[in-house]
Amino acid sequence: MSTGGEKATGNTKTPADFLKSIRGRPVVVKLNSGVDYRGILACLDGYMNIAMEQTEEYVNGQLKNKYGDAFIRGNNVLYISTTKRTLADGA
């Protein structure tokens, strides 16, 4: 019987692996306030502070502002999402 505390074998990916893999790719960052920021993930740190490029701000699904670069403090981040690559994208 498995205790649930066992480490999985094989190609286990951690959240840190995911975050490293999406650097330089388009992402959506949703804040606790409900505002979305869409742009290119430039970098992030262990506190989830995020630097983005070509950033667009969406409030209630509508474009409100465009920024060249943006910095988002990690304690405001609800989640980071990216689109799944398809074969047409070269994945």
List of domains in the chain: 24-82 (2.30.30.100)
pLDDT in the model for residue 88: 53
Token pair recorded at residue 65 = 């502002």
Q: Mean pLDDT, the chain, as a whole number?
A: 85
pLDDT in the model for residue 55: 96
Q: Tens of pLDDT along 9-45?
A: 567 888 888 888 899 999 999 999 999 999 999 999 9
What CA dihedral angle connects 90, 20, 75 and 67, to 10 degrees?
Answer: -50
How buried is residue 67: exposed, middle or buried, by Cβ count under 10 Å (0-12/13-18/19+)?
middle
Cα dist from 91 to 20, 65, 81, whole Å: 17, 31, 17
